[in-house]
């Protein structure tokens, strides 16, 4: 999957069933978060930066690797 150098939006990722499945598997709390709808314009890079304060870097790396494989 082309992640557009991290500039792909969460909306684009959530609209794709394969990438949405990656989030549901790797970061289930994000997939169920109530602000998911309003976060559609956030880029993947912005999300990774935000999550770095909340989840282990290994989790973020896993998401990125899985998305790149799609």
| pLDDT band at residue 58 using 50, 70 and 90 as cut-offs | very high
Q: What is the pTM of this model?
A: 0.82
SS (H, E, C) the chain: CCCHHHCCEHHHHHHCHHHHHHHHHHCHHHHCCCCCHHHCCCEHHHHHHHHCCCCCHHHHHHHHHHHHHC
pLDDT at 30: 74
> What local confidence, expressed as pLDDT, does residue 36 receive?
66
**What tens digit of pLDDT does each residue of 17-36 get?**
999 999 889 888 776 766 66
Position 50 confidence tier, pLDDT thresholds 50, 70, 90:
confident
């Amino acid at each position: 999957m082309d992640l557009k150098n991290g500039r792909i939006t969460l909306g684009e990722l959530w609209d794709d069933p394969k990438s949405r499945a990656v989030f549901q598997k790797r970061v289930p709390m994000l997939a169920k978060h109530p602000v998911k709808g309003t976060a559609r314009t956030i880029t993947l890079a912005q999300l990774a930066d935000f999550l770095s304060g909340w989840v282990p870097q290994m989790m973020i790396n896993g998401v990125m690797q899985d998305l790149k494989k799609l």
